[in-house]
Each structure stands twice: as C-alpha cells, then as structure tokens.
Chains A and B, each alone.
Chain A
Amino acid sequence: MIRKIGYLFTGMFFGFSLSRSGASHYDYIYQMFTGENLKLALLMGTAIIVGAIGMTVLKALGNKDINGQEIQINRKPFNHNTIIGGIIFGMGWAVSGACPGTVLAQLGEGKILGLVTFSGMLLGTYIYARFAHKD
C-alpha cells in the first residue's frame, strides 16, 4: 500500500512538473525543434545531469535502496529497432507536439486533442503488440 502511494505521488509530481515547466505545451515542443526556443531542450539536459549526479551519489553510498536492497538499474537493449523505433517516435513527437509523458499532463489539463493523441498512442502500442513484437 505504501508503495502504491509512492507511485501515485511520484506520478503526480512528474505530471505537475511537466505541466508547470511548459513541457505539455505544443508551442514549446515545436519551437525546440525549430530552434526558436530551446527551453525544453535545456530542461531535458538539466534533468539528465541532475539524474546522473543523483545516481552517482546513490552508487557512492553503496547502491542500496531505502530498504537496503541492491538497486537494479533497468538496462535497455540496443539493436536496429532502437534506431527505427527512435526515428518513428521522433516523427510522432513533432506531429503531436507531445511525448508519452506530457500527453498525460495534457489529459489532466483538459486538452481535448491531448486525449486524441493519447488514443493514438494506444493504437500504436496495440499495432506493436499485434504485429511487431517478437518474443
């Protein structure tokens, strides 16, 4: 139960931060890609650096979580699908002006076209599950 509350609150913090930073605004995504306003690129760069510093600190402290368990880093495999999927994802990012996280913030903000993007994401995930998944 306490873990569930933890996920709910970290999710809320994430959605709130994305919305408060303007990451859920179509305009800032568009302007990041045209180079007119690099606010969101700077935000991502800062998040990566802060995240990396935090992970280095955790490692220096013995790589243990709050319960004393070894922290298991989620390792992501690399293959040609990383590139193909990455290109398709980038196209979708530009077309919708959103990513899978910011579209959830858009839903909470009441953006109707955000709900449409969200529905499209479910279809895209289904197409993957139906036709592209190899086990």
Chain B
Amino acid sequence: MKLLLVDLWPWWLGGIAIGILVPAMYYFLNTALGVSTGYGNILKILNRASKLKWLNTSTYKDPFGWRFIFIVGMIIGGFVSARISGMPLLESGMGLFTDRLNWNYGIYAFWFFSGGALLGFGARLAGGCTSGHSIHGIATGQKSSIIATICFLLAGTFTTFLIRIIVFGGN
C-alpha cells in the first residue's frame, strides 16, 4: 500500500495506469482521451456571452459538458494524491526551478504565466497536447500525433538546453 499511496510510482506503473485510460475511455464512454480542448470550456464558462466564433462551435455548446467534468476530476485526483501522500496543502515553490534561483515571486509568476500561454496557444494550434496527441494519438496510430510529439520533444529539449545555460548558468 505504501508503494501505491505514499511513494512515487515507478514509471511502468504510471505508464500502465495512464495507457489503460485510452481504451477504457473508448470502451466505457466512447470518448477520446484529451485535456487541452477543455480549456475552451473554462473560457466559455468565464464569458458565456462571448462572440468569439471558436467558443460558439458545437464543441463548446455545453461548457459544463464532459471536458469540464473531466478537468474537475483531474484536479480532485491531484488533491487526493497530495493529501494521502502527506504533501503540504499549499506549495509556493516549483521544484529545482525556485530552489536554484533567487528571483522575486512576481518574476516567477511572469515566467510560469508565459509558459502557460505558450502551452495553451501551442496546444490549440497543434490540435492537442501530451494527452490527446502523444498518448491517445500515437496509441491510435495517427501520423499527425507522431509529428506533433516529435515537435513537442525537440522544442522542449532545445528550450531546456537554453534555460540550463542562460537561466541556470550551466548548472
């Protein structure tokens, strides 16, 4: 039980749990695993009267639909994991990033906000994220997802290389 609830899972256990979601969601819910499209649901909920064409497509007709419920579930899942493994209720740092640097908190916020904006914009332009493209898309044999994932990984590796040199000073 300690392995499942307190220690971090080994990669193979996480991989099996997450991989099973793809056929399980198709079998039980006839739905493709995916997360990033749901961010449009939240935008629609924040502004129900939005005139933006994209937020008035059939995907966002019911903003409280399955994508929203799935997102809420994911937040609850993270919360449950943190509670049973004894993490603090609130955490202001972000791992080695805030450990290595001594920035003003507002600059950290600007950094992560910018990263989020790139994720949100990039995911929509690419048509999916790590869940929808990399896991669901490759598992269902889609060329578009293989190419998107290669781009995710190459750009991520190159950007991290730059961050390591410029931000962390080569450490």
Interface residues, chain A, with chain B CB atoms under 8 Å away: 3-4, 6-27, 30, 33-34, 39-40, 42-52, 54-55, 57-58, 65-67, 69, 71-78, 81-114, 116-130, 132-133, 135
Contact = CB atoms under 8 A, between A and B. Distances in A.
Nearest to B93: A113
A128 B57 CA distance: 14
Which residue among A9, A10, A51, A87 has the maximum number of chain B CB atoms within 10 Å of its CB? A51
Given A6-B28, A95-B111, A14 B73 contact: yes
Given A4-B69, A21-B8, A39-B11, 9 more contacts: A14-B74, A25-B95, A43-B12, A48-B134, A54-B19, A85-B126, A90-B158, A95-B111, A112-B90
Interface string B103-124: 0000011011111111111111
A72 B87 CA distance: 40
Contact of A88 (B36, B125, B127): B125
Nearest to A80: B125
B96 A27 contact: yes
Contact of B24 (A15, A54, A96, A121): A54
A107 B82 CA distance: 10
Given A48-B139, A74-B136, A99-B130, A21 B14 contact: yes
B21 A10 contact: yes
A64 B83 CA distance: 38
